[in-house]
Structure 1
Amino acid sequence: MEFLIAPIIVALLASALALTISILDKHVNNYGDVEININKGKKVLDVKGGDKLLTTLSSEGVFLPSGCGGRGSCGACKCKISTDIGPVLPTEKPYLSIEEINNNTRLACQIKVKKNLDVYIPEELFNAREFSGIVEEINDLTYDIKEVIVSIGDESIDFVSGRYIQLVVPPYGKIKESTQRAYSISSKPSERNKVAMLIRLVPDGIATTWVHKYMKVGDKLRLIGPFGEFEKSDCESVMICIAGGSGMAPFKSIFHDMLEKGEIDREVWYFFGARTTKDLFLLKEFQEMEKKWPNFHFIPALSDCSPDENWDGEQGLITDVLDKYLKSKITPSKHKEGFLCGSPGMIGACINVLNDNGIKDIFYDNFA
């Protein structure tokens, strides 16, 4: 039993020490007034030093993506810092390539503002902002996926289908601090006064527990964004789209946007993987889309259904179904692009299948 207790005690002591150091640093060290120069003078911020760069920027209305809420576990809040701020931290290295490190890319959530900084962020991030919203609808799509529709009233959000938004989760229950999590936008860009998300319950997940067990219609909340680079290309290539679970969200937005704009000449194959019929949702919506869009093909597949489910669709792992269709049903002569959204494991396996079938142009949005 001792071999289990000892590591736990060490971890607790290390956490307590890190917290103590952080508190002492904040109260003992006074870094004074600091200037943050963004994109060579595009925006210059005069701020108080001492806080993390991610937090400092957001307090000034400059928002970087952060799927983990600044915990250093997603690697999304990257920016270039030309000022010498010391070596890359061990907490940053897993999320930075050698090229990024050589280009002075850092994680804003891991950098403390201690002196004047010269920072570069992508220009499109200046369009990200904070929205106040009211929960308009909460719809149960499956036993563990809810559709949340948020009205942002007279405000208007401008985004490209495929982007994501950060949901600010307030303190609740034993959770004493607010946090943020990233969710793909499932509504159409033309619906400018609302934001819809598909949120799957993650066991012990701070944000998803709040959404599934505490959130109510009429609740006020905050959203930050839009963020991301996931979107359809403007070429005529065949779109091979693969999703699982709440990974359906960006595709729901993309397909409805294409249909609304009359882009129905483009050939689209949408593979959706699930375990059983209990995990399927929005089937009728996409089957209706097939009727309006002759070049749109929806292929749901179940990997673990039982005979009593009376499922007459595709069965097997989504990778096997995908491979079968690429080899037998989808025209081999046309150029194809892959679009994926789901767990890292699913994405990795599907990339292998796409590559094996000669598809090299692949875009994806993975869940951390």
Structure 2
Amino acid sequence: MSNENVATFIKELTLKLPEGENVNFRAGGYVQLEAPAHHVQYKDFDIGEEYQGDWKHFKFFDLESKVEEPIIRAYSMANYPEEKGILKFNIRIATPPPRTQGLPPGQMSSYVFSLKPGDKIKVYGPFGEFFAKDTQNEMVFIGGGAGMAPMRSHIFD
């Protein structure tokens, strides 16, 4: 597993599947990730040096996430179907809006940002209907941020 910053508030989570296992999905598909009950503190996140200034400016390292029961969220795969043995996701941290007090950060994104090599996470699926039509016509993809994940899958497929 790797969990690297690819932008200030986006991590690319790459899960290595157990030897011999594969998730047969179509480009544009998604899976559901399950996180256990947890308490994570943002000060413990491994944030790339080049992004730490913004995290300090917005006081994100002061945040924490406390979740008392397992949660499940859906995420589109960023890898394409021929990349066997891995699942790749682009996940944006869900922080409270600026100048708000007492609002909790996103439960699953907080958990994902806390993951380190060797950690495990439950995966369900694949699911989805955001599939490209099989046609000879040109396709134009428009997206941004973490929303690029399914488009990356389509483009490389």
TM-score range, shorter chain: 0.7 to 0.9
Deviations 1:252-308 (A, max 9, x none): 111111xxxxxxxxxxxxxxxxxxxxxxxxxxxxxxxxxxxxxxxxxxxxxxxxxxx
Question: Which runs of 5 or more structure 1 residues have no equivalent in the other structure?
Answer: 1-135, 258-368
1:52 maps to which residue?
A: none
User: Which residue identity lines up with residue 149 of structure 1 in the other structure?
Assistant: T
**Distance apart, 1:234 and its partner CA:** 0.7
Query: 1:247, 1:206 → 2: CA distance?
Result: 19
1:146 maps to which residue?
A: 11
Q: Secondary structure in 1 aligned to 2:154?
A: helix
Query: 1:223, 1:191 → 2: CA distance?
Result: 17
Query: 1:231, 1:242 → 2: CA distance?
Result: 15
* Structure exhibiting the larger radius of gyration computed from Cα positions: 1
2:109 maps to which residue?
A: 208
Deviations 1:138-159 (A, max 9, x none): 1110110000000111211101
Query: 1:168, 1:227 → 2: CA distance?
Result: 15
Query: 2:87, 2:119 → 1: CA distance?
Result: 14
**Distance apart, 1:221 and its partner CA:** 1.1
2:148 maps to which residue?
A: 248
Q: Please point out which of 151, 170, 173 is paired with 2:36.
A: 170
Q: Please point out which of 206, 215, 218 is paired with 2:118.
A: 218
Percentage of identical aligned residues: 36
Q: Please point out which of 24, 46, 71 is paired with 1:179.
A: 71
CA contact (8 A) 1:144 1:200 kept: yes
Quick check: which one's helix share is greater?
A: 1
Question: Which runs of 5 or more structure 2 residues have no equivalent in the other structure?
Answer: 40-65, 96-104
Q: Secondary structure in 2 aligned to 1:233?
A: coil
Query: 1:200, 1:153 → 2: CA distance?
Result: 26
Q: Please point out which of 63, 72, 83 is paired with 1:191.
A: 83
User: Which residue identity lines up with residue 148 of structure 2 in the other structure?
Assistant: M
4+ aligned runs moved over 3 Å, structure 1: none
Query: 2:11, 2:148 → 1: CA distance?
Result: 12
Query: 1:198, 1:230 → 2: CA distance?
Result: 17
1:231 maps to which residue?
A: 131
Q: Secondary structure in 2 aligned to 1:211?
A: helix
**Superposition pairs for residues 45-60 of structure 1, below 5 Å?**
none
Q: Please point out which of 10, 21, 26 is paired with 1:160.
A: 26
User: Which residue identity lines up with residue 167 of structure 1 in the other structure?
Assistant: L
Taking only aligned residues, the RMSD between alpha carbons, in angstroms, comes to 1.0
**Superposition pairs for residues 332-347 of structure 1, below 5 Å?**
none
User: Which residue identity lines up with residue 112 of structure 2 in the other structure?
Assistant: V
**Distance apart, 1:237 and its partner CA:** 2.0
User: Which residue identity lines up with residue 109 of structure 2 in the other structure?
Assistant: T
**Distance apart, 1:215 and its partner CA:** 1.3
Q: Secondary structure in 1 aligned to 2:151?
A: helix
Query: 1:245, 1:191 → 2: CA distance?
Result: 22
The count of corresponding residues between Structure 1 and Structure 2 is 121
Query: 1:228, 1:172 → 2: CA distance?
Result: 28
CA contact (8 A) 1:153 1:194 kept: no
2:100 maps to which residue?
A: none
**Distance apart, 1:169 and its partner CA:** 1.1
Query: 1:190, 1:236 → 2: CA distance?
Result: 21
Q: Secondary structure in 2 aligned to 1:241?
A: coil
TM-score (norm 2): 0.74
Query: 1:169, 1:234 → 2: CA distance?
Result: 35
**Distance apart, 1:238 and its partner CA:** 2.2
